[in-house]
Structure 1
Amino acid sequence: MSLDSTSVDLQAHPALAGITVFERGWLSSNNVLIHARGDEPGAVLVDSGHVSHAAQTEALVRHALQGRPLARIVNTHLHSDHCGGNAALQRAFGAEVLTPPGHADAVRRWDEETLSYAPTGQHCERFELHGTLVPGEPVRAGGRQFEVIAAPGHDPESVVLFDAASGLLISADALWENGFGVVFPELEGESAFDDVATVLDMIERLPVSVVVPGHGRPFTDVPAALARARTRLASFVNDPQRHARYAAKVLISFHLMEVRGQTLPELVEWVERTRYFASVWQSSGQAESRSPAAWGELLASELVASGAARRVGERIEPA
């Protein structure tokens, strides 16, 4: 079976004992499976990837569990690449889902505007919510006690999970080995770069031994990752236009991964009907293009030129 995932075997590190990390491709977030211990009702999965990979996620989890139950899915935040597998895993395992509290009502109503899926032109299957991850309250899993810590910046409602006893930080998109996620509130005219800096400072104060990020491989050199993240943040603070262009390219790249490629006219049509892209163009793209569609064409050509995308006949496909 071919699965879009790398199972990261880090059991030699004591902080990851009893945990299976699935390092996914960039369309899906990493999945962190915390195996049950003692009388716990079942394993806990942190983040479930994108809906396009839901069957793969189910297969990975099922193989790792070896017939044991999956009791809960907890989402660090509700971007489509972190919770898109929730519904499929609920059907497969009967697992309960917990999310940060800020958008809990939107999940219950399935308000795709508030949840960002409609304005970003992304897809997520509706799932059932059973509870919330309240910052400051513990989550117990795998014989561990994880602290739920608010981590706004990339997303205002995002949280990270920290097990102080082992030094394990599940950082979602607040810190990667080489950066952090797009700071989406900034694209909507809301100040959030300071939130990113505050979260980086918070992580620096924690006694972290291993970070499992939302994307990319787990890592142990936290000071180096923080230094790279701060350098990147400073470049965005000094040049917000750079961040906006980066974000617009991320939106295009994510869409191309989601649909596995399109012709240029199809991509332009998506750009024209994606309100979030249009709003970023309104604030940051008008100086170099006459319309969102023209900006989308320009950025797509830059993605191809840089190797982040490729042309295959009439189609533009993810690299």
Structure 2
Amino acid sequence: MPATTSTPGLWPGMFFLERGWLSANNIVFVDAHSASVVDTGYWVHAAQTVDLVRSTIGGKPLTRILNTHLHSDHCGGNAALQAQWPSAQTWIAPGQAQHVAQWDPVALSYTPTGQTCSPFQAQHVLQPGTDIQLGAQTWQIHAAPGHDPHSIILFEPERRILISADALWEHGFGVVFPEIEGIQAFEEVAATLDVIETLQPALVLPGHGPMFSDVVSALTTARQRLQGFVQRPERHARYAAKVLLKYKLLEWQTLPLQQAYDWCLQTPYLGLLHAQYFAAHTLQAWLSQLVQELVGSGAAAIEQHDGTTMLCNR
């Protein structure tokens, strides 16, 4: 984990905490009297998130928690942070406030993805087309649908810093989750990439991976990747299925292969992908193929432990 020191290109009092792929990156803002954090990681890393935030804010009270969207890797630390700083106000992207208030894990995607998120409360929404003060700077809130229909990005126009969440990474973008449900969203991904290009950021702080400044190359890569998905949607479906399994494997690290298959069989999004794109194969045969592709790419390994076949993260 990188040290919580000022990073070149960022404003004083602004910190970029690059996390592993199980937890989204955190951006922390500290001013004279208070602190804010954007995105909070996955629930299994919640204690680590609390420790990172505490060490970064240096005794200032955490007054705001912001989520670019409500996928489990971006808000899984909310509940732990709220427990440590009960007066902190939580701001979420609009569109799912009622689901949070009623805590509906199906509508919030946690049940369909087979993931977990500890229940939390939210008091405000990050409304696109408005501004928000973070540290001493004013940040623009922009809608960024595609990866998630409710996602937002944050842009600071003076230094042209973009908090892009999963709308743009250095080498791509996040799984287009509406497409898993059969809702066409590739056009929304393209429109969000156009918004980012119009903003002309000089520095991008993505939801995963290191910050980067070669935005032209990143946009080119993202558009090429998107065009491949548009031309062959089954490519995206296979990619999405492997991402769901690999993400869960990051949480498990090692478990019996049969338990991994059982989880796949119980995870609704994997069933949807199979039914929409791969029904020519039995579900079990398709899942076996996904595992073999992860192993073939070096993302996983199959090992024998005391006579049990284990699936292991790599």
* Contact 2:169/2:206 (<8 A) preserved: yes
Provide the rounded CA distance (Å) in 1 between the counterparts of 2:85 and 2:159.
28
Is 1:300 the counterpart of 2:295 in the alignment? no
Instruction: Tell whether the 8 Å contact from 1:51 to 1:81 is kept in structure 2 after alignment.
Output: yes
TM-score, length-scaled by structure 2: 0.95
Q: Which runs of 5+ in 2 are unaligned?
A: none
- 1:269-308 equivalences in 2 (<5 Å): 269-287=262-280, 289-291=281-283, 293-308=284-299
In the alignment, the residues of structure 2 paired with residue 8 and residue 175 of structure 1 have an alpha-carbon distance, to the nearest angstrom, of: 23
Q: Within 5 Å, give how 1:247-262 maps onto structure 2.
A: 247-262=240-255
Q: Specify whether residues 82 and 153 from structure 1 end up closer, same or farther in structure 2 by C-alpha distance, changes over 3 A only.
A: same
Q: 2: distance between equivalents of 1:16 and 1:268?
A: 46
Matches within 5 A, 1:132-143: 132-143=125-136
Q: How many pairs does the alignment contain? A: 309
> Cα 1:132–1:203, aligned 2, differ >3 Å: closer, same or farther?
same
- Does 2:78 correspond to 1:86? yes
User: Contact between 1:264 and 1:297, CA under 8 Å: does it hold in 2?
Assistant: no
Alpha-carbon distance in 1 for matches of 2:249, 2:200: 38
* TM-score using structure 1 length: 0.94
The one-letter amino acid paired with 2:94 is P
> Secondary structure of the equivalent of 1:20?
strand
Mapped partners of 2:91, 2:43: distance in 1: 17
Which residue among 55, 68, 85 is the counterpart of 2:47? 55
SS at match of 1:212: strand
2:63 corresponding residue in structure 1: 71
1:209 maps to 2:202: yes
For 2:112 and 2:8, how far apart are their aligned partners in 1? 43
Shift of 1:244: 0.3
Residue of 116, 137, 153 corresponding to 1:123: 116
Q: CA deviation at 1:7?
A: 4.0
State the 1:283 CA deviation. 0.5
Match of 1:242 among 235, 247, 250: 235
Contact between 2:4 and 2:56, CA under 8 Å: does it hold in 1?
no
Percent identity at matched positions?
47
Return the match for 2:300 from 292, 303, 309.
309
Deviations 1:89-119 (A, max 9, x none): 0111222211011000000000011001111
Match of 1:226 in 2: 219
8 Å contact 1:208–1:222 — kept in the other structure?
yes
Which runs of no fewer than 5 residues in structure 1 stay unpaired? Answer: none
Secondary structure of 1:170's counterpart equals strand
1:104 and 2:100 aligned: no
In structure 2, what is the equivalent of residue 179 of structure 1?
Answer: 172
Which residue of the other structure, out of 17, 25, 44, is the alignment partner of 1:30? 25
1:191 aligns with 2:184: yes
Contact 1:164 1:207 in 2 (8 A): no
Deviations, residues 60-96 of structure 1 (Å, cap 9, x unaligned): 1111112111111100000000000000001112222
Aligned-pair CA distance for 1:298: 1.3
**Residue deviations 1:257-282 (CA, integer Å, cap 9, x gap):** 12223211101111111111100100
SS in 1 for 2:95: helix
Matched to 1:6, the amino acid is P
